[in-house]
Amino acid sequence: MTPFRDNGHLTRSQIVYNTKLSSIRSIIERSFGLLKSKFRRLKFLDISDIELGNEMIAAACVLHNFIIDNDRLNVLDEDYVNDAVVEIHQEDVMNEEVEQAVEKRREIVNRF
């Protein structure tokens, strides 16, 4: 999802949408940062193989949750959190996917 471009004429709903999207994106980025600091292999994923990337991220999430459930990791440990470095990679997407995302964004913003 992409935020609405702020050209000075955003509606209240669009502003709320952008704010919520920014908040959610920050949470997701921190989550990936934590995973990448714990499972260093995630830093070197072959992004061209999306299926493998999805499986590796899902496996890292399962392992992370297993460790937490078994008290093997203090996720609030300052060193652990400070090691989380977020890297954002943007990839080109197909026009159809962009159109679907724009329509989904319209549906979401209309709920506000």
Domain with 20, as residue range(s), is 8-78
The per-residue pLDDT for 39 is: 83
Domain count, the chain: 1
Q: What is the mean pLDDT of the chain?
A: 76
Q: What is the pLDDT of residues 45-100, one digit of tens each?
A: 776 778 888 888 888 889 888 888 887 555 555 554 444 433 433 344 445 666 77
Residue at 58 is within a domain:
yes
Local structure of 89: helix, strand or coil = coil
Residue at 43 is within a domain:
yes
The per-residue pLDDT for 34 is: 86
The per-residue pLDDT for 73 is: 55
pTM score of the predicted model: 0.52
The per-residue pLDDT for 89 is: 39
